[in-house]
Structure 1
Amino acid sequence: MFNNDYLNVLVLIVGLIVGFFGAHLIIRLVKRSLHEKADAGWIQTLTKITRPLTFLAALLVLLSIQPLMDFSKKLPFDFQHIFTLLTIFLVTWLIINAIRSIRIVLLRRYDLDTKDNLKARKMHTQLRVFERLLIAVVLVIAIGIALMSFDKIHKIGVSLLASAGIAGIIIGFAAQKSIGLILAGFQIAITQPIRLEDVVIVEDEWGWIEEITLTYVVVRIWDKRRLILPISYFIEKPFQNWTRTTAEILGTVFIYVDYRFPVEKMREALTEILEDTDLWDGQVNVLQVTDAKESTLELRALVSAVDSPTAWDLRVLVREKLVEFVQKNYPEYLPQTRVVFPEQKKNPANDTPKSNVEKS
């Protein structure tokens, strides 16, 4: 045993340094040996857990030498309790980093930047929700264990077990909304009415699902605003999801022309426009007369694209080109307002021959 207080402190410092650098060296050697064999994702995972592992190893060294120390003066704090709290903290840190790293490794196979990213969006949504759920569970368990390590809190907790039924009912009512949100998040992760990067229309706003948490969803509006909605909104209220089953989408363009306009010429122009752009996916090319109003014909161009942003750009391009086509080739058939004056009937009294007037 070490009876000198200064020697005890020195042993603690040396033990901390040895444990820290020893663990750091071992992990570095392991990473170097796996660098050529293992996947880059797992190397990244090992990198993320290096720091908590290093501190945890140093703490284990201190725990192993702590029984050998004997301070002559009674310390104002409990070494063993401090070690217990630090262990809980470091293990929690290690588990959370491991969960996040595993999620990153699994998502490396699913790229959201591909054209048909339905499966990728599904996996990103599920794994992110499950990651947050697991981290929340780990934090609750860690805080509970840390609190129960205090004798006073432990005694209070045991004494409250008798009234746990009443307390559970009270807490249940108080946390009903929060629990409902968490359950809604879990339900969305399973059933997936929405996924990350889905194109949706909510509250008359068009945008993309940017983030899904356990309690709320962030919608990125087309003009870069952010709409924050409770996650239960997507369970309880109707909304439009344009990319629920596929990213492909149809776009419509309306053009209004005079009744005399040659519609077949417009069809030929639409085909030329679509074949001349990379925005069109080559699937849908339709021009129809969808309405005959009092003064104009309504022409609807129906086109297709691989995703909604491309469809928007394609609609804008087709609209501009069709308007330009009408202006250049058939300006006289632009929408016109006609005013027809009915012919006035001749009055017999005013039809007196000029010769008769002169004679009179």
Structure 2
Amino acid sequence: MQDVLRPVLVIGGTIAVTLIVGWIIDRALHAATTRKPQNRLPELLRRCQLPLQVLMGSGAVQLTYDLSELNTPQDRVILSVLATLTTASAAWLAIRVAGALAENSLATYASRTEDVARVRQFRTQLAMLRRIVTTVLALVAAAVAMLIVFPGMRALGASLLASAGVIGIIAGVAAQSMLGNLFAGLQIAFGDSVKIGDTVVVEGEWGTVEEISLAFLTVRIWDDRRLTMPISYFNNQPYENWSKGGHEITGTVFFHLDHAAPVKEMRAHLHEFLLGRKDWDGRAWGLLITDTTPTTIEVRASMSAQNADDVWTVRCAVREEMINWLRENHPYAFPRVATSPAAVPPSSGTPEG
């Protein structure tokens, strides 16, 4: 009976103590959040409770395992599993802590500046750094599990380290595309060519940059489709970034009309219509004849807006309003299609032959 009771008391008591310690830490973080609500870091760190609990539990059981005097043939396997769990939970905890610090840094930076472009750039950099840190920690945890936890893998690890140069060359050649995307991602994150939240036109599609990972960039298109592309594309191919230098943008609407179209009246009506629109930012507007053909003229209406969404809305509204206004007040302004017989030039009077 004692052979069963002692392991249960030791291991169960160890786990119970770690649960109590984890609960105390969580309550302390909650109290810190209550005292200073403007400081989001304690609340963000509460997300680390689960990996912290696993880390403390597996580590404490390892330390007290000998006291339990379990003495089973699987002791080595159990200790290896516990060590692996401790290593994995430590990496998990580090990733959660890094995420909490990054999110808190972004919130603090956003509260101190009104420059939206700088906030988006900082957010892009933090997102890229978080992915790099996550990848590195996962690789380190896997290496520790292989080389330290499992003694049989140490010889393999030593031989791998001895041939690291050759393996590095082979891996570099085999993974050129992946490495190219990785370095392209770093260049984009710490450059200023494209950021999360930018409005871009890629491959003829207009959308907003939604996510930048180590290898791919995702654009949310205006109809909620997602366009995923290798991140190296944005270093090798031209694309439009409508947010570069600011969100303000000028939109245009073209009309093909008859030569008799009342351009001055159109200009006055366009201005009157824009004054009643909230999506027109008031910076600029205009209406000009930009081209002529033997049968029509090309009239361009331009209007400015705060962002790409507003300029799309105001362009559609201007197009609809001007067409309706012309149809109701100046129907003769639309292009005409000649239906009468073509005029024949008069005879020169010179006799044939």
- TM-score by length of structure 2 reads 0.89
CA drift at 1:115: 10
CA distance in 2, matches of 1:301, 1:72: 86
Q: Residues 201 and 241 of structure 1 are in contact (CA less than 8 Å); yes or no, is this contact kept in structure 2? A: yes
* 1:346 to 1:181, Cα distance in 2 relative to 1, 3 A: closer
Amino acid aligned to 1:89: A
Amino acid aligned to 2:141: A
Deviation by residue 1:291-349 (Cα, 9 ceiling, x = unmatched): 011111111011100000100000011111111221122112221134552475699xx
CA drift at 1:82: 2.9
Q: Does 1:337 align with 2:347?
A: no
Tell me what 1:56 maps to: 55
Tell me what 1:235 maps to: 235
Q: Does 1:98 align with 2:97?
A: yes
* 1:77 to 1:334, Cα distance in 2 relative to 1, 3 A: same
Amino acid aligned to 2:343: F
Tell me what 2:183 maps to: 183
Alignment of 1:250-329 (within 5 A): 250-329=250-329
In structure 1, the residue corresponding to 2:168 is in which secondary structure?
A: helix
Tell me what 1:122 maps to: 121
In structure 2, the residue corresponding to 1:4 is in which secondary structure?
A: helix
CA distance in 1, matches of 2:276, 2:26: 57
Q: Residues 194 and 241 of structure 1 are in contact (CA less than 8 Å); yes or no, is this contact kept in structure 2? A: yes
CA drift at 1:184: 1.1
In structure 2, the residue corresponding to 1:108 is in which secondary structure?
A: helix
% identical aligned pairs: 33
Tell me what 2:106 maps to: 107
Amino acid aligned to 1:100: G
Deviation by residue 1:53-84 (Cα, 9 ceiling, x = unmatched): 22323334324423433334443534443332
- Corresponding pairs, count: 344
Q: Residues 185 and 214 of structure 1 are in contact (CA less than 8 Å); yes or no, is this contact kept in structure 2? A: yes
CA drift at 1:44: 2.4
* 1:136 to 1:164, Cα distance in 2 relative to 1, 3 A: closer
Tell me what 1:167 maps to: 167
Amino acid aligned to 2:27: R
Structure number with greater Rg is 1
Tell me what 2:141 maps to: 142
Tell me what 1:357 maps to: none
CA distance in 2, matches of 1:182, 1:165: 20
Amino acid aligned to 2:179: I
* 1:8 to 1:267, Cα distance in 2 relative to 1, 3 A: same
CA drift at 1:40: 4.8
CA distance in 1, matches of 2:76, 2:324: 83
* 1:115 to 1:270, Cα distance in 2 relative to 1, 3 A: farther
Tell me what 2:19 maps to: 20
Q: Residues 15 and 62 of structure 1 are in contact (CA less than 8 Å); yes or no, is this contact kept in structure 2? A: yes
CA distance in 2, matches of 1:286, 1:119: 32
Deviates more, 1:302-311 or 1:54-63: 54-63
CA distance in 2, matches of 1:189, 1:228: 17
Deviation by residue 1:174-216 (Cα, 9 ceiling, x = unmatched): 2222222111111110113111121111111111111111111
* 1:121 to 1:344, Cα distance in 2 relative to 1, 3 A: same
Tell me what 1:356 maps to: none
CA distance in 2, matches of 1:279, 1:263: 24
Q: Residues 23 and 58 of structure 1 are in contact (CA less than 8 Å); yes or no, is this contact kept in structure 2? A: no
CA drift at 1:270: 0.9
- Structure 2 residues not aligned, in runs of 5+: none
In structure 1, the residue corresponding to 2:286 is in which secondary structure?
A: strand
Deviation by residue 1:235-259 (Cα, 9 ceiling, x = unmatched): 1111111111110001001112221
The Cα RMSD (Å) is 2.5
Tell me what 2:248 maps to: 248
In structure 1, the residue corresponding to 2:76 is in which secondary structure?
A: coil
Deviates more, 1:14-23 or 1:244-253: 14-23
- Structure 1 residues not aligned, in runs of 5+: 348-360
* 1:212 to 1:26, Cα distance in 2 relative to 1, 3 A: closer
CA drift at 1:27: 2.8
Q: Residues 208 and 219 of structure 2 are in contact (CA less than 8 Å); yes or no, is this contact kept in structure 1? A: yes
